[in-house]
Amino acid sequence: MQNDVETVPGVDPARTAGDRRHRRCARSRLDVPLTGTALQPGFRTASIVLPHTAVRALLFGHELNRYTSAQAAYMRPVSYIDYREVTGAPANDSHHVRTTFGSVTLKVRAPLRRRVFAYGESGYGLTSRTGFSIGGVPAVTDAHYSSLVAGGGVDIDLNPRWSLTGGVLYVPGRAGIDQPRALFSSGGFRYVMRPLSEARLDAVRRAGLVFAKQVPQMEVSTGTGYGVNNFVSRTVPVFWGGHAEVHRGGAVHYERNVFHARRLFSLDVGASAGLYRTSRQSERFHAWSIYPLLRLTFVRTAATDVYLAYSLAGPTYISRTRLDGLDTGHHFTFQDFMGVGVFTGPGKRLNAGVKINHYPNGNIFAQNAGVKIPLTFCLGYVF
């Protein structure tokens, strides 16, 4: 994976070089020639640091047939563009410009050889830029717009589940807001979950392993336990924090299994509705989500199964866009959560667990304060 950084010295509002980033969950590169022209009149910068490493993650996808699929992706640089020594700022000061991209595309493949396919993709794209201010005056403005995106590449199917993939995606710019076009080039892999064979299902049944088919749940957020959120977002960064904090709340969930492996791994889809109250100004808001849920059952006994749960990027409607004076973006956001739980009791039908939640918009909008929900306790029943 490339991790080079380009520094452009002696930049003024009329002259700058380019920037790059990349795509998928493996290796990719993004070229976004954001220049000094993005600075508002009266501002100059000594240099711009242009990182070249980026990621494109395919969040959701569905294979309609062997040749056609739909997919949603999130793209951003690993490090953001850095404007240094801007007019009016302290010496040696630096300011980030955060640019992120989202896309929903239809992908069509055509065979070149037995396992090699050329593909083209096109669909809806979303570009978001968060700028910065000097002395309360915007130096680089926020920007947000939608556009058509298009790209293409090559897939190599290693087997029915695993494929190598590489290609490019073009995101148009917007001249009126000094946002240049973006070009992702990437290489990575894709895994397609397919139904287990009857032989493997019979082996699971003979082993006496249970995968919960449907789980309705109720949960209560306590308003305590922010230390857990901080630990997994700062000390061990495997999750995210948030600036707007929830004091108390509750939600109902429904989860249904759609795929499971032989013993450990399962994938559910879920829906939830929650009502919460913030910590500082006691503002009430509600959130409605659909989401994927990855479940890893790492302990199995005759009486109890213990699992880790992780859910990422569940599309969500949130009723307020400002909470405790903080701008969370738009009504559209995402739901993330992680936790641990058990299935126990007769037939392992009783479900209990504890988790932490997070509502961010993934920086697909210019403002993203994020909502942090501390320790939440869940009870459910399996049928």
pLDDT in tens, 292-303: 999 999 999 989
As a residue count, the chain comes to 383
> Where is mean pLDDT largest: 62-71, 194-203, 218-227, 333-342?
333-342
Which of 191, 223, 249 is at the close of a domain? 191
Using CA atoms of 35, 36, 39, 41 in order, give the dihedral in degrees to the nearest 10. Answer: -140
pLDDT in tens, 4-22: 444 443 343 333 323 323 3
Task: Based on the fold, state whether residues 67 and 160 are members of the same structural domain.
Answer: yes
Task: Based on the fold, state whether residues 265 and 365 are members of the same structural domain.
Answer: yes
Beta carbons within 8 Å of 56's beta carbon, 6+ residues apart:
22, 23, 24, 25, 28, 73, 74, 75, 169, 184, 186, 188
Task: Based on the fold, state whether residues 270 and 148 are members of the same structural domain.
Answer: no
Burial class (CB in 10 A: 0-12, 13-18, 19+), 177: middle
Task: Using the predicted structure, report yes or no on whether residue 23 has a pLDDT greater than 60.
Answer: no
Task: Based on the fold, state whether residues 161 and 220 are members of the same structural domain.
Answer: no
Task: Based on the fold, state whether residues 121 and 155 are members of the same structural domain.
Answer: yes
**Among 49, 35, 129, 137, residue whose Cα is nearest residue 87:** 137
Report the pLDDT averaged over residues 306-316: 93
Structure tokens at 233: 């977002």
Task: Based on the fold, state whether residues 374 and 283 are members of the same structural domain.
Answer: yes
Whether the CB-CB separation of 339 and 353 falls below 8 Å is answered with yes
Task: Based on the fold, state whether residues 303 and 352 are members of the same structural domain.
Answer: yes
Query: pLDDT category, 33, cuts 50, 70, 90?
Result: low
The domain of 299 spans 198-381
pLDDT in tens, 199-243: 776 776 676 677 888 999 999 998 888 888 888 888 887 887 888
Q: pLDDT at position 1, please? A: 34
Considering its fold, how many domains does the chain have in total? 2
Task: Based on the fold, state whether residues 177 and 223 are members of the same structural domain.
Answer: no
Task: Using the predicted structure, report yes or no on whether residue 371 has a pLDDT greater than 60.
Answer: yes
Whether the CB-CB separation of 296 and 230 falls below 8 Å is answered with no
Which of 164, 191, 218 is at the close of a domain? 191
Instruction: Record the pTM.
Output: 0.72
Report the pLDDT averaged over residues 48-65: 80
Task: Based on the fold, state whether residues 154 and 288 are members of the same structural domain.
Answer: no
**What is the number of alpha carbons within 13 Å of residue 112 lying toward its C-beta?**
9
Query: pLDDT category, 95, cuts 50, 70, 90?
Result: confident
Task: Using the predicted structure, report yes or no on whether residue 343 has a pLDDT greater than 80.
Answer: yes
Task: Using the predicted structure, report yes or no on whether residue 105 has a pLDDT greater than 80.
Answer: yes
Q: pLDDT at position 14, please? A: 33
Task: Based on the fold, state whether residues 202 and 174 are members of the same structural domain.
Answer: no
Q: pLDDT at position 29, please? A: 67
pLDDT in tens, 346-367: 889 999 999 999 998 887 887 8
3-class secondary-structure state, position 206 = helix
Q: pLDDT at position 294, please? A: 92
Q: What 8-state DSSP symbol labels residue 43?
A: -
Report the pLDDT averaged over residues 50-64: 80
Cβ count near 315 (within 10 Å): 15
Q: pLDDT at position 9, please? A: 39
First to last CA, the chain: 45
Q: pLDDT at position 224, please? A: 83
Cβ count near 114 (within 10 Å): 7
Q: pLDDT at position 97, please? A: 87
Helical H runs in the chain? 198-206, 226-230
Task: Based on the fold, state whether residues 173 and 241 are members of the same structural domain.
Answer: no
Q: pLDDT at position 76, please? A: 83
Q: pLDDT at position 178, please? A: 82
Burial class (CB in 10 A: 0-12, 13-18, 19+), 41: exposed
- C-alpha to C-alpha distance for 129 and 360, rounded to whole angstroms: 16
Task: Based on the fold, state whether residues 362 and 288 are members of the same structural domain.
Answer: yes
Q: pLDDT at position 226, please? A: 84
Structure tokens at 155: 């897939």
Q: Which of 80-89, 247-256, 281-290, 373-382 has the lowest mean pLDDT?
A: 80-89
Task: Using the predicted structure, report yes or no on whether residue 121 has a pLDDT greater than 80.
Answer: yes
Query: pLDDT category, 261, cuts 50, 70, 90?
Result: confident
Mean pLDDT, rounded, of the chain: 84
Which of 133, 164, 191 is at the close of a domain? 191
Check which CATH number belongs to the domain holding 271 and give it.
2.40.160.20
Report the pLDDT averaged over residues 104-117: 94
